[in-house]
Amino acid sequence: MSLIDQFLPQHQFSQRHQATVRCRPGELLDIIQNYRPPKDRLGEMAMFARQMPAKLMHWVAPSQVPRPSPFTPANFIPLARDGDREIVGGLVGKFWRPDFGLLVINGPSEFLVSNPPRTAKLVIGFLAEQAGEDTLLTTETRVYCPDRYSRLMFAPYWLAIRPVSGLLRRRMLRTIREIAEHGDGRPGAVGAI
């Protein structure tokens, strides 16, 4: 059983993207595990737009609404790595809220048992499979909503962010391929996962 299936076997929403990379699977997962996104104007604009409602709410009522924390790959909880094959990370929150409504989860076992009502659970996985001399890298995001309320709240949010998320994910795969194949000297780093 894959790690993504172990951590989130049931889900209502998912998105998958693939890239072929000239790199061994284990080295590729090391790059992903230590990856930090480079400056990207499109990604920054998308995150700025996503966080604008929380910033406006804080600006209007600073005493009632705390300053929003930036959302970064570091928000993901590292869940597991299966050698040179797969790595997964996760989040639990109310992603449709302006502040993402993230819950503090202390590790993989707590993530597995965490299933609060009116809250969604997300897993992102990277699967590296040898394909001749290359590696087929698949990234998949899955979201599970435990009740009708969370499904009704998450569905419109998913419809709004899915196209942009997919575009950003494809750009991330391109960047990871460049780093793996060309030894791009960018600061390494997806310790987020």
The confidence band for 64, taking pLDDT boundaries of 50, 70 and 90, is low
Cβ within 8 Å of residue 129, ≥6 positions away: 25, 85, 135, 136, 138
The answer, yes or no, to whether residue 57 has pLDDT greater than 60, is no
Least confident of 41-55, 122-136, 164-178: 41-55
The answer, yes or no, to whether residue 190 has pLDDT greater than 50, is no
The confidence band for 52, taking pLDDT boundaries of 50, 70 and 90, is low
* Gap between the terminal Cα atoms of the chain: 19
Q: Which two tokens stand for residue 90?
A: 């996760």
CA distance 138 to 47: 23
At 141 the three-state DSSP class reads: strand
Estimate to the nearest angstrom the gap between the alpha carbon of 14 and the chain centroid: 12
> The pTM is what?
0.81
H helices, E strands: number in the chain: 5, 5
Cβ within 8 Å of residue 131, ≥6 positions away: 20
Q: By percentage, how much of the chain surpasses pLDDT 90?
A: 59
Q: By percentage, how much of the chain surpasses pLDDT 70?
A: 77
pLDDT in tens, 131-170: 999 999 999 999 999 999 999 999 998 998 898 888 888 9
Sheet (strand 77-82) strand order: 13-21, 134-144, 120-131, 86-93, 77-82
pLDDT at 18: 96
